């Protein structure tokens, strides 16, 4: 199933002009720490000779396994900036490692699937509409395997930051981190944390929660409700805080309205989306599946303007990431998908006895030359055992070579799913489409 999902995502990404890359698994600690409060997630590496002496070396100077694919992308862009055409659109599907407690849907080693667009100096806002729509399109293709409908929930960090500053709060990053916990611990607990850890009073904490609860069907309604909220809490329209918030609001309204013209309902404004990492500077996204609230977000990301730089030159970007292993786990256990094939072969060529193995190999090679995946039985066991072997691997056809298929008979092939057996020629036979298109399952 995982390979099928990977193939589907890659196909959609490339259909939209994204270029595939691969980056090394090991990064310098200083690069890994660019994303903010992530040191507890990083698996650091040590040579055997260094065991016991690790504390003598700062994390920034050590090597570690990458915990996402965006930080390595920033290094890749800087190193290859002279060779890349900007805006650089890339997809990347690789393993990542995180030091978190394993549980259902969460792994220490897993596959992540990313798309990003990185600009040179600047990056047009229209990419902040394009990327969530590409992801929705990719996830839509997976509905054939039982995945529910996906919706992207969008917010903007400038909108949130401006509002918080307008309330008189200075620990913006702290407020964002606590608001990001709303779905996990609820409004009452978040309000307590805002007071205890972010210096907010009860009125300020309540206002932050009011912003998080704000919803709207379109950009115009969003703007109207936000202005009313600012007025209610004394945030003046001519203040710097309001102007910052307004920048984010205008971008968010544009994203929601433009996305609605292309794919209605695919992207909605949701002001409780915070993405509590200081890595993001503008739009932020979380993606949820209908009827799967307990799963949480399956795809997240946002706009980042300061992650990659080279001297005075900045490489702003916007990206989205799917925890692919987590998604596949959900599909197998909850969404009705199932693993039906072990082998990618469509045909198992039987072997009557070891002396006839060369003839079976010739048949298999003829089928492979025509693009039909074929395997040859590992031993010249009884025919029933060879058929059982094919069935265990999910191979739907068993091919019987002519010389031992019966007096005067030519080659025959048996569909062990339907039981049908027919005459066949390796130069012209084709499997039924339903079996030919099945792919290997892990």
Please tell me whether 357 is known to bind a ligand. no
Can you tell me the distance from the alpha carbon of 64 to that of 103, in angstroms, rounded to the nearest whole number? 23
What angle do the packed helices 202-213 and 219-232 form, to 10 degrees? Answer: 170
How far is the CA of 57 from the CAs of 51, 84, 266, in angstroms?
12, 35, 47
Can you tell me the distance from the alpha carbon of 395 to that of 377, in angstroms, rounded to the nearest whole number? 11
Q: Write down the mean pLDDT value for the chain.
A: 89
Q: What is the pTM of this model?
A: 0.80
Question: Could you tell me if 431 and 397 are in contact, meaning their C-beta atoms sit under 8 angstroms apart?
Answer: yes
In the chain, ranges of CATH 3.30.930.10 domains: 1-338
Q: Exposed, middle or buried, 358 (CB in 10 Å: 0-12/13-18/19+)?
A: exposed
The partner residues of 302 in beta bridges, in order of sequence, read 284, 319
Please tell me whether 38 is known to bind a ligand. no
In the chain, ranges of CATH 3.40.50.800 domains: 347-441
Please tell me whether 280 is known to bind a ligand. yes
Please tell me whether 116 is known to bind a ligand. yes
Please tell me whether 242 is known to bind a ligand. no
CATH of 347-441, one of 3.40.50.800, 1.10.260.40, 3.40.1350.10, 3.40.50.150: 3.40.50.800
Q: What is the pLDDT of residues 258-312, one digit of tens each?
A: 999 999 999 999 999 987 667 789 999 999 999 988 888 999 999 999 888 888 8
Please tell me whether 279 is known to bind a ligand. yes
Architecture of domain 1-338: 2-Layer Sandwich (3.30)
Q: What is the pLDDT of residues 196-222, one digit of tens each?
A: 999 999 999 999 999 999 888 789 999
DSSP 264: T
Can you tell me the distance from the alpha carbon of 267 to that of 303, in angstroms, rounded to the nearest whole number? 16
Tokens of 53: 């002496």
Tokens of 247: 């920048």
Going residue by residue through the chain, which has 442 residues, state the pLDDT in tens, using 9 for 90 and above. Answer: 788 899 999 999 999 999 999 999 999 888 888 765 566 688 888 877 677 776 777 888 888 999 899 889 999 999 999 999 999 999 999 999 988 777 776 788 999 999 999 999 999 999 999 999 999 999 999 998 889 999 999 999 999 999 999 999 999 989 998 998 998 899 999 999 999 999 999 999 999 999 999 888 789 999 999 999 999 999 999 999 999 999 999 999 999 999 999 999 999 999 999 876 677 899 999 999 999 888 889 999 999 998 888 888 999 999 999 999 999 988 888 766 555 557 889 999 999 999 999 999 999 999 999 999 999 999 999 999 999 999 999 899 999 999 654 555 699 999 998 999 999 999 999 998 666 544 434 3
Q: Exposed, middle or buried, 38 (CB in 10 Å: 0-12/13-18/19+)?
A: middle
Please tell me whether 70 is known to bind a ligand. yes
């Amino acid at each position: 199933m995982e390979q099928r999902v990977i193939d589907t995502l890659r196909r959609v990404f490339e259909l939209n002009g994204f270029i595939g890359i691969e980056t090394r698994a090991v990064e310098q600690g200083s690069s890994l720490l660019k994303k903010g409060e992530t040191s507890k997630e990083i698996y650091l590496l040590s040579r055997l000779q260094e065991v016991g002496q690790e504390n003598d070396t700062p994390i920034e100077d050590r090597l570690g396994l990458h915990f996402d694919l965006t930080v390595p992308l920033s290094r890749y862009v800087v190193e290859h900036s002279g060779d890349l055409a900007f805006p650089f659109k890339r997809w990347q599907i690789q393993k990542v490692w995180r030091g978190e407690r394993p549980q259902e849907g969460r792994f220490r080693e897993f596959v992540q699937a990313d798309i990003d667009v990185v600009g040179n100096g600047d990056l047009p806002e229209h990419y902040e509409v394009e990327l969530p729509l590409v992801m929705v399109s990719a996830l839509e293709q997976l509905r054939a395997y039982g995945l529910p409908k996906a919706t992207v929930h969008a917010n903007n960090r400038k909108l949130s930051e401006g509002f918080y500053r307008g309330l008189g709060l200075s620990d913006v990053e702290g407020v964002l981190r606590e608001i990001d916990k709303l779905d996990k611990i609820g409004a009452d607990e978040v309000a307590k944390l805002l007071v205890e850890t972010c210096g907010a009073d009860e009125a300020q904490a309540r206002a932050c929660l009011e912003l998080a609860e704000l919803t709207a069907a379109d950009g115009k309604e969003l703007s109207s409700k936000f202005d009313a909220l600012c007025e209610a809490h004394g945030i003046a329209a001519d203040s710097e805080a309001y102007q910052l918030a307004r920048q984010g609001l205008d971008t968010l309204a544009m994203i929601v309205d433009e996305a609605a013209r292309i794919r209605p309902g695919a992207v909605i404004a949701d002001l409780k989306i915070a993405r509590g990492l200081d890595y993001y500077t503008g739009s932020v996204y979380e993606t949820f599946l209908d009827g799967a609230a307990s799963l949480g977000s399956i795809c997240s990301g946002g706009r980042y303007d300061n992650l990659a730089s080279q001297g005075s030159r900045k490489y702003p970007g916007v990206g989205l990431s799917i925890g692919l292993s987590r998604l596949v786990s959900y599909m197998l256990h909850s969404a009705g998908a199932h693993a039906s094939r072990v082998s990618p072969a469509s045909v198992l060529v039987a072997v009557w006895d070891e002396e006839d193995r060369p003839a079976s190999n010739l048949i298999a090679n003829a089928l492979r030359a025509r693009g039909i995946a074929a395997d040859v039985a590992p031993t010249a066991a009884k025919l029933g055992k060879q058929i059982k072997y094919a069935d265990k691997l999910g191979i739907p056809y068993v091919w019987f070579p002519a010389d031992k298929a019966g007096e005067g008979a030519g080659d025959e092939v048996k569909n062990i799913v339907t039981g049908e057996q027919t005459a066949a020629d390796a130069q012209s036979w084709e499997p039924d489409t339903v079996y030919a298109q099945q792919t290997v399952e892990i």
